[in-house]
Structure 1
Amino acid sequence: MHPGDVAARLLLFLAANGTAVLDCFCNHVNGGYQSNGLNGLNFAEITIWLNYCRYPRAYSLLETCENLEALLAVVPAVARLVQPPGGVEHCAGAPAVIRDLTGPSARDEAFTTEHRCLVAADCIDSCYAQGLDGVEWDIQTLATDHLRRPVLSQLLHAVYRISKATRAAMGCADVHPWNLHQKNLHTSEVPAVYSVFLEHLSNYSRDAAQLLSLGVTHVSQLFVPLAYEHVDTRPNDEQLHGWIKDVERVRDMLRMKLRGLVHDLQSVSEMMVNYKIEKDENNPGNYLIRRPLLNHQLLSYHEQYLSFHDELSALCEQQHPKSSQMFALADALYSLCRNNWIETARIFNEGNSSHIYTVDEEWELEDRSYATLSVDTNCMQLLANALDHPTCPLEDLPPETITQREQCRVQLWTDVMERSPHIPVTSYLAYTQRTNVNLCLLAWMTVNSFSICQDVPFSMIQSVRDARCFFSSPAHKSCPEFNATGAICSFSRAVLLLKCRDFSLNKHSELCSVTLHPDGSYSNKSNVPWIKRLKGHIEPTQRTLNYKASLNSATLKYKDFRIDSLKVLEISFIAINIVFRFLTAGVYMYLPQLRNLPGKIFLSFQLTGIIQILCSEVMYRMTGFPKLSTAVQIDSSLTLLSCIWLNSFCYQMYACIRHLRLPNDLLPAEASEVFRRQVLYALIPWGIVSAASISLENTSNYYMIHSRIILLAAISFSIALNLILLGLVGYMYLRNRRFMLRLRISTNHKFGSKKQLVFLSVKTVFLSGVGIIARTGFHQAQGIAQFVYCVHIATMAQGPLLFVFFICNESTLPLFKATLLAWWNPDIVRSRRELCSAAERNLAKRPDIQHSSEESSM
């Protein structure tokens, strides 16, 4: 029989009966000839045996050498995935057909490229465990041998066939000739040949991704029974339920890692047709392959080996015994899939030709990778807590914690999309609401294995797509394909791996490779030569740790007011401030002489300050009500209202000097009318600014910066107006004084004593609002949070200072003292009323005298 006819006959036979006949032939040979080796097999059978039954001859596992012992403990479990299934069954005539392949050309024709491609294509349709699509392992099924072992055997057989089909698919793709390698190819033929090659490569990658997806499904299904049989534990019935739950969580973690690889390989298969080839103008006869940014090289950024055992064993071992073996099994299975399936599927041999070069698209990010962003402090605190106090992933998280993590992912992505490097701070509470953080530090803290992205699959293709779309889009315009619940994780992974080289480094550990043989034996060796290709496992640099330490020790501690040494001092200052503000307001309400127009305005200023302190320092700090964003709005709005009251006060000072009319000259009714008008003038602009700010901030977080700018601009404008009015008052005083000197009027009385000058200067500073703008401006600085905290405590001394400089002066204090004494003893003669005191006393006694005379007449 002609060799070509024999090969065609085998090809038709396999197409009709599927590649299961080859597996059956291998089982037949194993059962019938294993004792005699390959004796008794003809040339064709030996060829099929060497090219299919015994191919591949070994698989490799990759692990750090310090964890090699843990890996070796689970190697027998992983070895079962690469061992051929046993048993001899009826093979539908396969041995006879294969035995008919004779002749010296059988080696070339018996297992051709078409046969390899047929093996891969057939496995896509048939390499699945029938009836086990949604298999779940309960206590009864797992603990019963005759229920567990058939299912496990079926899954192992499916995984074994997938491994062989993956290797066969590689042979199918790799042996196809690519005529572009030939130098004598005409230039006009290059695009057409290259287009055919890309289509072939894309089809292969798509088929390989389907095989891998099927393999990941089966590996996930057999993880639990494999762990049950090989992990050194035998839990009783009471413990088995919890043990199954733990193993399933490790399985889900493994599946999530592998699913990301499969997703990226599927994406690569779709993008390969976009590769372009062109002549190299600088080197005639050479060609350039221009690959887009999203190309197959991004697959190398997936972790070469997992670190579950490294990072989680010590964390989980106490609460979950034998969890380290579960993590080691997951690491080993990932290594098997990563190094024998994924690496096998990554075929793109444009580098095999000396006259073909590749040029990748550049991702221009400039220096924005080191930009500073303003983000929510609560979410940064959550990230810091997750890193400082990591939890075992096998633990049950409270529902509120899971919800908080999802909300923080959305909030952080919203903050990143806003791209605001700094949101103005209008109050000390606003300082605790937002924090400025380096973009790379945020990326590292977000995608750390202990952080909030544990349940978000890793897809390097999606990560680069999201990051490129973000940086190439105009500000305040989001990309339509973003998924808000996981976009911050995807974006941060791309930024950290590709553009934050000063914030992360690859962990260059010494690696050991363990080789698995089909007979169940294994061998290991160290010092893997391609260690420098490893990417994906990120370790923080010293710069990262310094940034994080500064953030944690300053801004985040300031947010929760954790400076214990100043706690008592802070509470004392707040209490003293409230007491003296109430005393000052009480004096202005009690003394009739102070209830003039400026006194009423100053009383309004005091009452506004009291309400502000009670809301921010007492109600929010002690009860947590209202929420922080609302408390910031109230605090900022009341700060603005205080500045507007100072505007009214300064204007009255200016009006009095300009019209040479003292405040006490106004009649009570006239003073009340003017005060009501001043209140209206104050509340209208305050209401407009506050309503605009609150509306913007409550509409969307994107408008928070505009809201804060409106409030800050209004406060700055108000204080600038105070300074202008006080400047006019000073100018008019100096002008009038100069005019008085021209009249040559001299007196021995000075303008005022040094004490009076000090009192007047401090009052001017209070009324100008310079302290408010200085405090607000000081809050804009970042990285000095503890100093801001000290400034905040110092501002609590405002109450006593107001009492001293506005009550304890030479005009108000004697009046207040005399009023108190008169209230205590009405017969005491008050100051400046001595001349008419006797007449007043006689007049007061007249009713008593008249009443006594009437009684005597009766």
Structure 2
Amino acid sequence: MHPWAAAASWLLFLAANGTTKLDCFCTHVADVYYQGGGLRFQNDGEENLWLTYCVYPRAYKLEATCENLERLSAAAPAVARLLQLQSPAEERERGCAGALEQVREFSEGAADEFSVQQWCLIADHLAGSCSVLGLDDTDWNEETLATDHLRRPVLSQLLRALRQIMKAVSARRGCADQHDWNFRQQHLNKSEFEADYSVYLEHLANYTQDIARLISLGVAHTSQVFVPLAFEHMGIHPNDQRLHGWIKDVRRVRDMLHTKLRGWVHDMQSVSEQMTNYKIEEDKNSSGIYLIRRPLLNHRLLAYQTQFLSFHDDFSALCEEQHPKASEMFGLANALYSLYRNSWIETARIFNENNSSYFYIVDEEWQLKDRSNATLSVDTGCLQLLADALDHPTCPLEDLPPETIEQREQCRVQLWDDMVQRLPHIPVTSYLAYTQRASVNLCLLAWMSVNSFSVCQDVSFSMIQSVDDARCFFGSPDHKSCPELNVTYAICSVSRAILLLKCRDFSFHKQVEVCGVSLRPDGLHSGKMGGSSITPLKGYVKPTERALTYKARLSNATLKYKDFRIDRLKPLEISFIALNILFRSLTAGVYMYLPQLRNLPGKIFLSFQITGIIQVLGSEVVYRMSGVPNLSTAVQIDSALTLLSCMWLNSFCYQMYACIRHLRLPNDLLPAEASKIFRRQALYALAPWSILCAASISLENTSKYYLIHSRILFLVGISVSITLNLVLLGLVGYMYLRNRNAMRRLKISSKDKFGSKKQIVFLSVKTVFLSGIGIIVRIGFHQVQGIAQFVYYVHIATMAQGPLLFVFFICNESTLPLLKTTLLVWWKPDTVCPRQELCSAAERNLERRAAVHCTFAESSLSCP
């Protein structure tokens, strides 16, 4: 028969429901073969049909690591239903009677003569008959699942459609393999080679697009068939009272599987679009040899798709108590994933450029070095969420509160914003800000983000999209040049790419021993496949030792102390906070109570104390106990009050300098003059402080990317303020030394020394307080990453500032006696203070006479 006549015969045969007849033929031959009758064919065409249509498309297998082989075998019977030939009942229903004779009669001519092209015709016919209209919207509820006549017809149609899709994928591969692309023998010059290779690329792209369409349809049908298939496989009783809960659980497992499969569709579509971009050039070193330059986004990236699902290993133990059937659901999802990966993705991925001995393939490289040691500044709240998800994973079948889901999405956006900033560390000006940001290893962050238990569970894994996003992001200094990036999913997409391709110490590429179950139309056959010769397993599900070490270091050093809580030191911390507030309040009360201290420096120091009290109450009581306001606002307030405290110290130090410079004691000022100068000094302090605060708030609220500028602005303001304090105190010391040297030149001497050792200690400590050096030391500790426990110790030590201020500014030789006397007079109004001046000589005489009279009375024991 002429090939064109054979082709016409094939088209007519297929149009007359030919694939159904071919299935009947395969069923009959298989029954005879598997029952021990052997293979007996009447002609070469019949044998060719068996080898191509019946056997080759059904060479399916399930694979898993050998420790999971038993669970894989348990799910294999359900998966085998996708491959089973028609049962006798189905044969009768579909009209198999007489089909065998028709196929044999047809195979004597057209099948034998047209065997080369039959794959393409079969593939086209199967592709057009794979869709199941009207069944994708089936609501699998208690009624439809429990009623046999509602469930079984729909399930049968869906299973048949999936069988057709798998056969169509294999047939499309067989069709693509028929053409012999022997470029070196056919074309010797460059122009002919390029022309023929362009045709080949178009052929390859069309093949991949067809496969992608079939896979897309298969993923949709798989989501629809999963619930009824699991119902029959697991033997759920229709009258089970827990059926409603079981349906809800199996739907969630179905959605998890659909999320994993959905990324394949995108990858295949992306690969087909990239194939026409391959570049061809002649090798300069070898005549007649050509170089094929493929873009980075080619089919080789499909190898990074998850080889084995880890649903069972990750979630079965977590869900076992509340969801008894969860283990079987996860096992079925793993088995279906393995089947489709081997029958769809591997079939499509293996077919690529043929005749590789006649030209060389050169792939574009992603020019980004290993990121295993890169660091990133991130929000500690989101980082804590990632760590908690790893340390305390939850069953994905549980209902999550809406606020938890919203928090996960917000953290994905926040982490992406942190990555966009590309900063290793953000300077902080308060200890609260230390809890807001943390420097974390970039690869560790990527692993924590895309781990099976983390915030990216519901984001489909498209390796092509991930690499494209990551290359766009890291290849551009401005993230705005990548407008296609969705901020809600970007952290998941980019993290997967950099983790698998650019984090050698955080993802694993290792050889594993793989076992498999091969599937046949009549049943199952299990066989172990050696793991030493297979391609190394790529992935990131199981953490490497490096990842666990980094995470432990991060948790122990930063996250464990994020809220500054060490259990054994909590009583000590609370005691120090209480003492700090108490003694700061006492110091402020003394300065308000004693008239002698209500001079100009006293008013400035009182303002400093009130600012410190408000800062401690706001950060230690209001925020730490009630969580109000939010952390970012609390950091702003705490940093602003730290800056204001430094500015009050500026005014105090300036008054010290002015008093010595003009040789005028503070008590020499009249009350009205002192108040006027204080108002002016307060204006000088509050005006620049208000400007800096307004600028910082504007920067932080204008855009989250200006957070570092806001922090640096506060840090610079505090540094300038403390520098000014040191300059003023240095001038005071310089004027003292200059005056002392001048007195020595005038030969003026005095037995009075500068002060006792106690006075010198008090003066030195006061100078440290007034200079603000302690604030700089505290801020310096806040900049250190990885030693949060030391920051916590410094934080507790800072709370001792209140008692120290009371001791060194109140318990001195001038203020303390005055306070004692004033309190004594308040307790006993008749008490006369030592050295108290009397109003007149008469009063002095009267006092003297009273003393003499009292002495005489004492001698007679009659003094009242």
**Could you say whether these structures have the same fold, taking a TM-score greater than 0.5 normalized by the shorter chain as the test?**
yes
How far, CA to CA, are the matches of 2:678 and 2:453 in structure 1? 61
Q: Name the residue aligned to 2:650.
A: 647
How far, CA to CA, are the matches of 1:268 and 1:198 in structure 2? 12
Mean Cα deviation higher: 518-527 or 705-714: 518-527
Q: Name the residue aligned to 2:852.
A: none
Please tell me the residue identity of whatever aligns with 2:80. Answer: A
Contact 2:46 2:107 in 1 (8 A): no
SS in 2 for 1:129: coil
Say if 1:473 and 1:747 are closer, same or farther in 2 by CA, change over 3 A: same
Q: Name the residue aligned to 2:491.
A: 488
How far, CA to CA, are the matches of 1:31 and 1:350 in structure 2? 38
Unaligned 5+ residue runs, structure 1?
Answer: 845-858
Q: Name the residue aligned to 2:63.
A: 62
Q: Name the residue aligned to 1:389.
A: 392
In the alignment, does 2:134 pair up with 1:131? yes
How far, CA to CA, are the matches of 1:151 and 1:441 in structure 2? 46
Say if 1:32 and 1:676 are closer, same or farther in 2 by CA, change over 3 A: closer
SS in 1 for 2:565: coil
Mean Cα deviation higher: 633-642 or 143-152: 143-152
How far, CA to CA, are the matches of 1:175 and 1:841 in structure 2? 130
Contact 1:43 1:106 in 2 (8 A): no
Mean Cα deviation higher: 504-513 or 73-82: 504-513
Q: Name the residue aligned to 2:816.
A: 813
In the alignment, does 2:26 pair up with 1:22? no
In the alignment, does 2:662 pair up with 1:659? yes
Mean Cα deviation higher: 668-677 or 314-323: 314-323
Superposition deviation, residue 225 in structure 1: 1.2
Superposition deviation, residue 5 in structure 1: 4.5
Q: Name the residue aligned to 1:281.
A: 284
Match of residue 116, structure 2, among 105, 112, 115: 112
Mean Cα deviation higher: 426-435 or 308-317: 308-317
SS in 2 for 1:56: helix
Say if 1:529 and 1:733 are closer, same or farther in 2 by CA, change over 3 A: closer
Match of residue 705, structure 1, among 708, 726, 734: 708
SS in 2 for 1:457: coil
Q: Name the residue aligned to 1:300.
A: 303
Q: Name the residue aligned to 1:848.
A: none
Say if 1:546 and 1:40 are closer, same or farther in 2 by CA, change over 3 A: closer
How is 1:690-769 mapped onto 2 (pairs within 5 angstroms)? Answer: 690-769=693-772
How far, CA to CA, are the matches of 1:839 and 1:234 in structure 2? 114
Superposition deviation, residue 157 in structure 1: 0.9
Contact 2:377 2:423 in 1 (8 A): yes
Match of residue 637, structure 2, among 630, 634, 637: 634
In the alignment, does 2:380 pair up with 1:380? no
How far, CA to CA, are the matches of 1:216 and 1:367 in structure 2? 35
**What does the per-residue CA deviation read over 1:414-434, in whole Å, with 9 as the maximum and x for residues that have no partner?**
000011111111100000111
Contact 2:302 2:463 in 1 (8 A): yes
**What does the per-residue CA deviation read over 1:226-250, in whole Å, with 9 as the maximum and x for residues that have no partner?**
1111125437442001001111111
In the alignment, does 2:58 pair up with 1:53? no
In the alignment, does 2:184 pair up with 1:148? no
SS in 2 for 1:531: coil
Q: Name the residue aligned to 1:219.
A: 222
**What does the per-residue CA deviation read over 1:274-299, in whole Å, with 9 as the maximum and x for residues that have no partner?**
11111111222211111111111000
Contact 2:7 2:114 in 1 (8 A): no
In the alignment, does 2:584 pair up with 1:587? no
SS in 1 for 2:57: coil
Please tell me the residue identity of whatever aligns with 2:12. Answer: F
**What does the per-residue CA deviation read over 1:567-612, in whole Å, with 9 as the maximum and x for residues that have no partner?**
0000000000101001100111111111111111111000100110
How is 1:307-386 mapped onto 2 (pairs within 5 angstroms)? Answer: 307-350=310-353, 352-366=355-369, 368-386=371-389
SS in 1 for 2:369: coil
How far, CA to CA, are the matches of 1:838 and 1:526 in structure 2? 119
Superposition deviation, residue 475 in structure 1: 4.2
Superposition deviation, residue 435 in structure 1: 0.7
Superposition deviation, residue 41 in structure 1: 4.6
Aligned residues: 839
Contact 2:130 2:165 in 1 (8 A): yes
Please tell me the residue identity of whatever aligns with 2:8. Answer: R
SS in 1 for 2:357: coil
How high is the TM-score relative to the length of structure 1? 0.94
Mean Cα deviation higher: 85-94 or 277-286: 85-94
In the alignment, does 2:82 pair up with 1:78? no
Contact 1:33 1:40 in 2 (8 A): no
Mean Cα deviation higher: 613-622 or 179-188: 179-188
Match of residue 91, structure 2, among 87, 92, 96: 87
Mean Cα deviation higher: 186-195 or 780-789: 186-195
How high is the TM-score relative to the length of structure 2? 0.94
Superposition deviation, residue 771 in structure 1: 0.5
SS in 1 for 2:324: coil
Mean Cα deviation higher: 159-168 or 128-137: 128-137
Superposition deviation, residue 213 in structure 1: 1.1
Superposition deviation, residue 834 in structure 1: 5.5
Say if 1:776 and 1:581 are closer, same or farther in 2 by CA, change over 3 A: same
Superposition deviation, residue 538 in structure 1: 3.6
Superposition deviation, residue 498 in structure 1: 0.3
SS in 1 for 2:538: coil
How far, CA to CA, are the matches of 1:494 and 1:353 in structure 2? 28
Superposition deviation, residue 107 in structure 1: 6.0
How far, CA to CA, are the matches of 1:582 and 1:261 in structure 2? 66
Contact 1:307 1:331 in 2 (8 A): yes
In the alignment, does 2:579 pair up with 1:569? no
Say if 1:785 and 1:843 are closer, same or farther in 2 by CA, change over 3 A: farther
Cα RMSD of the aligned pairs, angstroms, is 2.2
**What does the per-residue CA deviation read over 1:521-573, in whole Å, with 9 as the maximum and x for residues that have no partner?**
32322324543332235432222111111111121121123311110000000
How far, CA to CA, are the matches of 1:226 and 1:159 in structure 2? 12
How far, CA to CA, are the matches of 1:436 and 1:130 in structure 2? 53
Contact 1:250 1:326 in 2 (8 A): yes
How far, CA to CA, are the matches of 2:166 and 2:792 in structure 1? 62
Mean Cα deviation higher: 36-45 or 624-633: 36-45
Unaligned 5+ residue runs, structure 2?
Answer: 848-864
**What does the per-residue CA deviation read over 1:650-703, in whole Å, with 9 as the maximum and x for residues that have no partner?**
111111111111111111111111100011111100000001111111222101
Say if 1:40 and 1:538 are closer, same or farther in 2 by CA, change over 3 A: closer
Say if 1:839 and 1:439 are closer, same or farther in 2 by CA, change over 3 A: farther
How far, CA to CA, are the matches of 2:799 and 2:579 in structure 1? 8
Contact 1:584 1:807 in 2 (8 A): yes
How far, CA to CA, are the matches of 1:385 and 1:235 in structure 2? 39
In the alignment, does 2:406 pair up with 1:403? yes
Mean Cα deviation higher: 690-699 or 762-771: 690-699
Contact 2:743 2:749 in 1 (8 A): no
